[in-house]
Chains A and B, each alone.
Chain A
Amino acid sequence: MKPSVIVFPASNCDRDAAAALEMATGKKPRMVWHGDSELPDTDFIVLPGGFSYGDYLRAGAMAARSPIMRAVVEKARDGTPVLGICNGFQILCEAGLLPGALLRNAGLDFVCRTVALRVENSQSLFTSGFAQGQYVNFPVAHHDGNYFADAETLNRLEGEGRVAFRYVDNPNGSARDIAGVLNEAGNVLGMMPHPERAISPLLGGVDGAAFFRGLLEAA
């Protein structure tokens, strides 16, 4: 695997994502600056968490229009796996690679704690490290994680098995408890919880390490 991590101004989980990828693959990922217009030779792209461009206008809105995203969208359309975590999920929605949008948390609070998730689709290349229906614990840390889409879109996502993870106890008001969604082709996953922050007992959990090992095996 030749992973790369896109770095935006005010990304803050880019190094966590790089550490998780390195732990799983044994290789340091390429760190790619948002202002670049070309990607290095890569077969796995991570859009990390953070507050790119200070969440100006809407979370992920400016990052989704940055030069590197044109290349990421093209790669994603060609089938390269793209994983967006937290702000990365917001960017994927803003870039049109995933349906829906992430609104302000229903309770208005910034939510920062470890949450339980149910693996709703263990067949995707991102979730093959888990069993169908397995419960995993990942931290969340966001203010705008309230997944929203119209009823027709939500029905389609559920009908096509594109809900990857669901919250056991919904922390942000997300429609139908959705924590992570796949694109139609299955090569793009956006999720609010942070698997890269759960890769060691020292960090409070290891379910994220299983997530990244699963990626390697699927690749």
Chain B
Amino acid sequence: MKAKIHITLKPGVLDPQGKAIEGALRGLGFDTVSDVRQGKEIVLTLDETDEAAARAKAEEMCKKLLANPVMENYAIEITA
């Protein structure tokens, strides 16, 4: 199975990179843009063949390493 893990800063956590990107977009004339937030995506392949098992494994990875619960949220997408 493949797992796509989206990691985003929690709402309310200052995202200076998002702000800088927003400033650059506005500089290019995209003046309708607001609330830019930057996250990251981690893609990995698991030997597990069962979706629930793969999800449980990815969840454990997020808790132990991939996301920092102090400042980040994560969402997991499992595909074949």
- Do A and B pair up? The answer is yes
> Taking beta carbons and an 8 Å cutoff, which residues of A are in contact with B?
57-58, 61, 65, 93-94, 99-101, 103-108, 146, 148-150, 173
Across-interface contacts of A108 in B (CB, < 8 A) = 16-17, 19-20
Contact B70 A100 (CB under 8 A): yes
Residues of A within 8 A of B71 (CB): 101, 103, 148
Contact call A107/B68, Cβ cutoff below 8 A: no
Contact B68 A101 (CB under 8 A): yes
Which of A94, A105, A106, A173 has a CB less than 8 Å from the CB of B68?
A94
8 Å CB interface, B46-80 against A? 64-66, 68, 70-71
B20 neighbours in A (Cβ, 8 Å): 108
What is the distance, in angstroms, from A69's C-beta to the closest C-beta of chain B? Answer: 12
Bound CA span A104–B16, Å: 7
Give complex CA distance A99, B70 in Å.
8
What is the distance, in angstroms, from A45's C-beta to the closest C-beta of chain B?
Answer: 23
For window 14-51 of B, CB contacts with A under 8 Å fall at 14, 16-17, 19-20
With contacts A57-B65, A61-B65, A65-B65 taken as known, whether A107 is within 8 angstroms of B70 at the C-beta atoms is no
Q: In the complex, which range does the number of interface residues on chain B fall in?
A: 10 to 19
How near does chain A come to B5, taking the closest CB pair, in angstroms? 12
Most buried by B among A105, A108, A173: A108
7 A-B Cβ contacts within 8 A? A57-B65, A58-B68, A65-B64, A65-B65, A101-B68, A103-B13, A104-B16
Q: For the complex formed, measure the closest distance between the CB of A96 and the CB atoms of chain B, giving whole angstroms.
A: 10
User: Complex: how many Å from CA A136 to CA B71?
Assistant: 30
Q: B70 and A148: CB pair below 8 A?
A: yes
Chain A residues near B65 (CB, 8 Å)? 57, 61, 65
Given contacts A104-B16, A105-B16, A107-B16, contact A61 B68 (CB under 8 A): yes
Q: How far is the CB of B58 from chain A (nearest CB, A)?
A: 15
* Chain A residues with CB below 8 A from B64, complex form: 65
Contact of A57 with B70 at beta-carbon distance under 8 Å, contacts A103-B13, A103-B14, A146-B14 already known? no
Q: Measured between alpha carbons, how far is A105 from B66 in the docked complex, in Å?
A: 21
Q: A101-B71, A148-B71 are in contact. Are A106 and B14 (CB under 8 A)?
A: yes
A58 / chain B contacts, CB cutoff of 8 Å: 68
Cα distance, A17 to B68, chains bound together (Å): 28
A203 to B65, CA, bound (A): 38
Contact assessment for A106 and B16 in the assembled complex, using a CB-CB cutoff below 8 Å: yes
Interface centre among B19, B64, B68, B70 (most CB of A within 10 A): B70
Q: Give Cα A108 to B16, complex, Å.
A: 6
Residues of B within 8 A of A104 (CB): 16-17
> CA–CA, A101 to B16, complex, Å?
15
Q: A103-B13, A103-B14, A107-B16 are in contact. Are A149 and B66 (CB under 8 A)?
A: no
